Amino acid sequence: MSAPDVAATAQPAEPRRTVAPFGRRVVRVERSRDLGAYRLLACADPGGPVPRPGQFYMLATVNGWGGGEDERPLLPRAFSHMGHAAGELSFLLEDVGPGTRRLAALGPGEELWLLGPLGQGFGPAPPGRRALLVGGGIGVAPLLALRDELGVGARTLFGFRDAAHARGFVDEAGMRIATDDGSHGHAGLVTELLRAELDADPAAAVFACGPPPMLEAVRAECAQRAVPAQLALESGMACGFGACFGCVVPTRNGFIRVCVDGPVVDAADLESALVPGTGH
């Protein structure tokens, strides 16, 4: 086949980024409720673009963002969206500090500053390979968005620390759950479920998000078996659009900014999924 013929038959790569509108916008909270030990926050964004699974948003409340005697504001917090339907965005939160505590306290009718969608999302699985979704803790959020796109038949493996954190997901079809303490599902790590899945059928493409030690275990397992994998990395972000260089991580091809070159990266581009300087 000649070069022109190859070019004529090649299929364009599926875009992994929806470009965000310029500037942040105010949106209204529609729903807020507990989901196991987490908090589900849904907001109306009827004029916003449709995000790709794996992209993220920078969130801050319109009122009460920061405080104390010096009224110092907090930095916006980065969250991958958990779902998008009918002009509504949903996010999965966990109260781990002042910023997430304020976001988790929001109720219907209150307002958010929203910037996004930002970053690179998940791409398609290579031809002939089934999608295998692997998530840990709060990192399950972008995989739920991907599962919505692929359909509930997509094989999904989620790991949580205990039954309280797993509670909101135990009735989902096609999902296997592991808990660190054995209080629900498989007693142990979600990567043990991944290993069993790949033993049974190695023709998979892995999509993963979770804490760095989990992602490193996924990366190493997939590298050993030559299984393609896409990893949504976690890194502290201050701006979300590459200006502050606060989320730089090394790859085999040099440094990248997670907020613009990620958060989703191909596992083959990484020597390690552990974030330098954080101890994990």
Question: What whole-number distance in Å separates Cα of residue 16 and Cα of residue 54?
Answer: 9
167: number of Cβ within 10 Å: 16
- pLDDT at residue 225 greater than cutoff 50: yes
Residue 135 banded pLDDT, cuts 50, 70, 90: very high
Least confident of 17-26, 57-66, 143-152, 266-275: 17-26
Tell me the backbone φ, ψ of residue 266, rounded to 5 degrees: -75, 130
Q: Which CATH number fits domain 130-269: 3.20.20.150, 2.40.30.10, 3.40.50.80, 2.130.10.30?
A: 3.40.50.80
What pLDDT, on the 0 to 100 scale, is given for residue 10? 37
Q: Which of 24, 87, 16 is nearest to 55 (CA)?
A: 16
Q: Which of 138, 121, 131, 269 is nearest to 205 (CA)?
A: 131
| CA 105 to chain CA mean position, Å | 22
Question: What whole-number distance in Å separates Cα of residue 254 and Cα of residue 256?
Answer: 7
- pLDDT at residue 26 greater than cutoff 60: yes
- pLDDT at residue 275 greater than cutoff 50: yes
Exposed, middle or buried by CB within 10 Å (0-12, 13-18, 19+), for 41? Answer: buried
Is the alpha carbon torsion for 136, 148, 204, 54 positive or negative?
A: negative
For CATH 3.40.50.80, the residue range(s) in the chain are: 130-269
pTM of the predicted model as reported, rounded to 2 decimal places = 0.89
Cis peptide before 73 (omega within 30 of 0): no
- pLDDT at residue 244 greater than cutoff 90: no
For CATH 2.40.30.10, the residue range(s) in the chain are: 25-118
Q: What mean pLDDT do residues 181-207 have?
A: 95
CATH superfamily of 25-118: Translation factors (2.40.30.10)
